[in-house]
A and B are shown apart, each in its own frame.
Chain A
Amino acid sequence: MKFAALPEHIQEKALAHTVVQGMRRRPRVFVDTHDFTAIDYGDIIVVDGRYFLVIAYTREGRFGVDDQPKPWVPKVSDLASGETHIIKLVFHEQFEVSFGDYSIPCYRNPEKEARVLELVQGNPRFMQGYGVEDEAGNLVRILDLIRGWRLDKYIHRFEMGHEEYFETVVPGILREFLESIKAIMFIHSHGLRHGDIRRDHIFVEYDGTTFRWIDFDYDFYLPERPFALDVYELGSILMYLVGRGNYYPQHVQKDPAMGQKVLDKLTVDDFSLLAKNRIVNLKLLYPYIPRKLNDIFMHFAAGTPVFYDSAGELAEDLGSYL
């Protein structure tokens, strides 16, 4: 489609946009998004009768790695309404994720993300949006922007010692996180996984109250334990929230309040079931953590006699603690 073929009022809005005004060319118009690498800043994507001007690209926030731009996830402006959205274009990717000695097949699954979006329509615990095919049949997802903090950044906003953080901040965070676990239970009950549960895949709205899950396009293949990885990652976030970080022997060693005396108490059973060098027995590091809460963490330990089979079991224990 040529730019001149767009409705006049859309052409006018596009030309008046600061992004387009800063360019030396007219925006190109894409009705077929399969080659997302061809779509550039200042181009227009036409889908579902809407006209989206690409104004930026989102970035992948992997921990410890410089953020990488995601060309298949442009940030766009709806030229009719002026609203900003995130658009996700089809990108099929398959890879293996290692957990200790084991590898799990993972992949991007746009169809699954579209199904989750449909299922959680109007549910405040999830990002909102919908999936729709472009003219060439590519499943585009149009997402609302969430204005808030990443959960892992949010918990570091409270400048206080750990004990005070644990006493004053953690209870509220855990109550909200319990609702996040219940939200995952809800999608599991419909046979769908989140697929990429991470501490930066919950956004805390700027009012500091509602936690929302984002990014549902990853998936994994574990036919006998279809939800195991989601459950494991929920446990990892829970421990991160309570500990205000992950703990490894080298950190304990360096911390003057812990050091060798704490390290000496650790046994292999105090480490994670899957991440062998991550400490899950947080009570050894922070003795004021109640036994009942620590017992939840120990379900994710290498030494656990019983692990959680479902998000529901985890929610039940956390609810009972709270």
Chain B
Amino acid sequence: MASIKNILISVNESETSLKAVRYVGEMSGCLAGLHVRLLHVAPEPPPYYYLEGNSLKDYVREKEAKAEEIFRAAVKILTDSGMPQERISTRTYIAERAEAISSAILKVQKEGNYGTVVVGKRGVSKAEEFLFGSISNAVAHNCASFTVWIVA
């Protein structure tokens, strides 16, 4: 059984994602011994990205730079809450062809045996959810043997 104190937080540039980080920061004051992995999943590049003369290497570089900014803000929130920096790690993941962001999160959870996955939730309409998806719903729907915290 994965330890619930081994936490995977999915982060992106949205305010709800930072809200989720803040929540974990606050919880870290109540729960000693948390280990946090900040995960930023970038979707597969749109095919027209290549037509514009870019390469996958360009895309990865661009996304990693973006992820660094997100991680910097998230780490600050966590350390300001009192979490020791050495308990925080980061990972950027570029989704494979036709791999949904939620599937990538679940894959990383499985690989790292994280006991808790934390995701932010933004309000979406049904049509929006059908077309663009809801990562929090998809993670909650597919979770097994681990806990999901959804921060709205």
Chain A residues in the interface with B (C-beta under 8 A): 92, 94, 99-102, 104-105, 107, 109, 111-112, 191-193, 219, 221-229, 232, 273-274, 302, 304, 307
Contact = CB atoms under 8 A, between A and B. Distances in A.
A225 B46 contact: no
A72 to B, nearest CB: 16
B62 interface: no
Q: Is the interface of B mostly helix, strand, loop or mixed?
A: helix
B17 interface: no
A110 to B, nearest CB: 10
Nearest to B130: A307
When A and B form their complex, which 5 residue pairs have the shortest distance between CB atoms, in order from nearest?
A: A223-B43, A224-B133, A191-B98, A225-B133, A221-B46
B30 interface: no
Contact of A224 (B46, B48, B97, B135): B135
Interface of B: 43-44, 46-48, 51, 95, 97-102, 126-128, 130-135, 138
A139 to B, nearest CB: 13
A274 B48 contact: no
A184 to B, nearest CB: 13
Contact of A107 (B47, B101, B131, B135): B47
A48 B100 CA distance: 37
B130 A274 contact: yes
Contacts of B95: 223
Nearest to A229: B131
A104 to B, nearest CB: 7
A104 B126 CA distance: 16
Contacts of B44: 223
B48 A94 contact: yes
A112 B99 CA distance: 16
A225 B12 CA distance: 18
B47 A221 contact: yes
Given A192-B98, A273-B127, A302-B127, 7 more contacts: A112-B47, A191-B97, A222-B132, A223-B100, A226-B99, A228-B130, A307-B126
Nearest to B98: A191
B126 A109 contact: no
23 contacts: A92-B51, A94-B48, A94-B51, A99-B127, A99-B131, A102-B132, A104-B131, A105-B46, A107-B47, A107-B48, A191-B97, A221-B46, A221-B47, A223-B95, A223-B100, A224-B100, A224-B101, A224-B138, A225-B133, A228-B133, A302-B126, A307-B126, A307-B130
B132 to A, nearest CB: 6
B131 A274 contact: yes
Given A221-B46, A223-B100, A304 B126 contact: yes
A102 B131 CA distance: 9
A92 B130 CA distance: 27
A229 B131 CA distance: 7
Nearest to B126: A273
B102 A224 contact: yes
A216 B152 CA distance: 39
Contact of A225 (B48, B97, B100): B100
A273 B130 contact: yes
A94 B97 CA distance: 19
Contacts of A112: 47
Contact of B127 (A94, A101, A191): A101
